[in-house]
Structure 1
Amino acid sequence: MKMKFVNDFKQFAMRGNVVDMAVGIIIGGAFGKIVSSAVSDVIMPVVGLLIGGINFTDLKLTLHAAEVNAAGEVLTPAVELNYGNFIQASVDFLIIAFA
């Protein structure tokens, strides 16, 4: 029973469509990393420079400041809304969707 299942799975997995799909997923993941790097390391710094020297990853809204004791130790971290990262991820998505 077990060998029949294994043999059936091998037969299914070795069909052309499944192998092509697996290769496509691997290439798509690598392409996504390349586009993310291009956006964060090449495109967004230029866009930030053109609109006044803004670093998009530094754009955030502090909802609750961090609590620090007298010794300088952080008791509770700050709660921040990182909308700059969201803008950068949106540009990543648009470039990948366009491609």
Structure 2
Amino acid sequence: MSIVQEFKEFALKGNMFDLAIGVIIGGAFNKIIDSLVKDILMPVISRIIGGDVDFSQWYIVLGDNPNHLNSLDALQKAGINVLSYGNFLTILINFLLLAWVVFLMVKVVNRVRRQDEPAPVQPPADPEDIKLLREIRDQLKANQS
């Protein structure tokens, strides 16, 4: 079997198409969740906290700053060594909010799936006469032993 035939067989498998569709939908879903966090949740959190939740301008200058630059962008363009921990904090908060939103969405989907599942069918209870006949049978077996 040639490499081209092997690749064709691999590419045309159903799993490959399912994976491609999942990646495309995941990309679109990522944009929706990202917008939810940035455009809806972060402004509400900013309002509650009473300030801006964007910590990206928080930094520590690790080298000499001869020109006394005050912005992170200017420091980085000047090639001064800067520990920009604020950007990490902003990304971490965004990630935690994003993870929380995804968790809540999965929880809702799981709840809906459980409601759609049919209730397990309980076998009907045996009638009284069957129960009595079984008791008689068990008593007879016990007496024979």
Query: How many Å separate the matches in 1 of 2:47 and 2:83?
Result: 28
Indicate the structure whose relative CO is greater, using CA pairs within 8 Å and at least 6 residues apart.
1
Query: How many Å separate the matches in 1 of 2:68 and 2:45?
Result: 41
Bigger Rg over Cα: 2
Give me the CA root mean square deviation. Answer: 2.9
Quote how far apart the aligned CAs of 1:70 are: 6.8
Query: How many Å separate the matches in 1 of 2:69 and 2:57?
Result: 26
Which runs of structure 2 are paired with 1:2-41 in the superposition (5 Å)? 4-41=2-39
Quote how far apart the aligned CAs of 1:55 are: 1.9
Deviations 1:2-27 (A, max 9, x none): xx211121112111121011110121
Q: Would the aligned equivalents of 2:45 and 2:53 in 1 still touch at CA under 8 Å?
A: no
AA partner of residue 16 (structure 2): V
Query: How many Å separate the matches in 1 of 2:82 and 2:20?
Result: 41
Q: TM-score, normalized by length of structure 2?
A: 0.53
Higher strand content, 1 or 2: 1
Query: How many Å separate the matches in 2 of 1:89 and 1:11?
Result: 39
Which runs of structure 2 are paired with 1:45-84 in the superposition (5 Å)? 45-52=43-50, 54-58=51-55, 61-64=58-61, 67-69=65-67, 74=75, 75=78, 76=80, 78-82=82-86, 83-84=89-90
The runs of 5 or more residues in structure 1 that have no matched partner are: none
- Calculate percent identity across the aligned residue pairs: 30
Q: TM-score, normalized by length of structure 1?
A: 0.73
Query: How many Å separate the matches in 2 of 1:34 and 1:26?
Result: 13
- Indicate the residue corresponding to 1:89 in structure 2: 95
Which stretch shifts more, 75-84 or 17-26?
75-84
